Structures are given as structure tokens and as C-alpha cells.
């Protein structure tokens, strides 16, 4: 048992495997190089947040749920990335189909600082084809999808950082 655990940890640390929580196939509409589907969702305070209000900034949309183990691993990496680029990058953490109170309690307990949005009916998740979570979609300053990451891997933070640098031209 210890040997299996050691192998799993080694594979995770080297990025040798990707972890995700899989759901039903929902859509194939999202494509790199095409405009990101517009959305408007409430945040935890009930304020409406839309993708277009962040035009001119890089937006990283993270689809997640409280019950998803790999989502718990990816969130700190994404929040660190947002801290590195506070003026250029906006992280929108879109919770999929969970009640407000449950999400709020989780966000407080985990000290999540991202802007958390509620997709209680899953419409935005379906529009983006989030068949597995976590799923990150990197959108450029003009609203074009530039990268799609499914699942968690130990190298995802580095990979996304490189993509942000490319979009910033540095």
C-alpha cells in the first residue's frame, strides 16, 4: 500500500498523470481561437458578473465544485497565478450546480480569494463544454479562447503562467 501511494505521489509531482472529475459530455462548442461564449452569473453576494466586463484583461475561467478533489488541488495554483498578475489577469471561479450556502461555506473554510460565480443550473458549464472538472479556459484581452486545460496536473501552474506571458508579450 505504501509503495502504491509513493508511486502516485511521484507521478503527481512529475506531472505524469492528470486528475479530474468526469461528468457527462455536454458540448463541443468551445474552440481555441474562437470567441469565448458570453455569460452573466451571480457572485456570492448576488452581484451579476459578465465576461464582457473584463474585456481588455486576460480572463482565466475555472470550472469547479466543492466535492471535486482535483479542484481542491488546482485552486491554490490558480490563485497564485492571479496574485502574480493582479492588474492583467482576472480569475473567475465558476462553481457548477451547487447551492449558494454550500459554496459560501466552502469558500470561507478554504480561504478562497478568487471571484466565485454560481452556475446553479449549469448553463455556462454546458456552453463551455465542461465535461470534466477542474477545467480552465484562458481568454485573451479581446475575448478569444487561447487555452483549455482539463483536469489537474502538477505542471498546470507553470503551463498556464507561460500562456499568460505569451498573451502579455513578455
| Active-site annotation, residues | 68, 71
Q: Which helix (H) or strand (E) holds 55?
A: none
Alpha carbon dihedral 107, 108, 110, 116, in 10-degree steps, equals 20
Structure-block grid coordinates of residue 165 = 506571458
Q: What angle separates helix 69-84 from helix 156-168, to the nearest 10 degrees?
A: 30
Cis peptide before 134 (omega within 30 of 0): yes
From the centroid of its chain, how far is CA 92?
A: 7
Non-local (6+) Cβ contacts of 106 within 8 A are 66, 112
Report the DSSP beta bridge partners of residue 92: 61, 115
Rg (the chain; Cα; Å):
16
Amino acid at each position: 500500500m505504501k509503495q502504491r501511494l509513493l508511486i502516485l505521489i511521484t507521478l503527481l509531482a512529475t506531472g505524469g498523470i492528470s486528475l479530474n472529475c468526469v461528468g457527462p459530455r455536454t458540448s463541443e462548442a468551445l474552440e481555441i481561437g474562437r470567441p469565448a461564449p458570453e455569460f452573466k452569473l451571480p457572485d456570492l453576494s448576488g452581484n451579476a458578473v459578465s465576461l464582457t466586463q473584463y474585456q481588455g484583461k486576460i480572463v482565466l475561467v475555472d470550472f469547479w465544485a466543492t466535492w471535486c478533489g482535483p479542484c481542491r488541488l488546482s485552486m491554490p495554483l490558480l490563485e497564485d497565478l492571479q496574485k502574480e498578475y493582479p492588474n492583467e489577469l482576472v480569475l473567475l471561479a465558476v462553481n457548477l450546480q451547487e447551492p449558494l450556502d454550500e459554496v459560501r461555506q466552502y469558500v470561507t473554510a478554504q480561504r478562497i480569494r478568487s471571484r466565485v460565480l454560481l452556475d446553479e443550473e449549469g448553463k455556462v458549464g454546458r456552453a463551455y463544454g465542461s465535461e470534466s472538472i477542474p477545467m480552465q479556459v484562458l481568454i485573451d484581452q479581446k475575448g478569444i479562447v487561447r487555452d483549455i486545460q482539463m483536469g489537474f496536473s502538477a505542471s498546470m501552474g507553470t503551463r498556464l503562467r507561460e500562456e499568460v506571458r505569451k498573451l502579455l508579450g513578455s
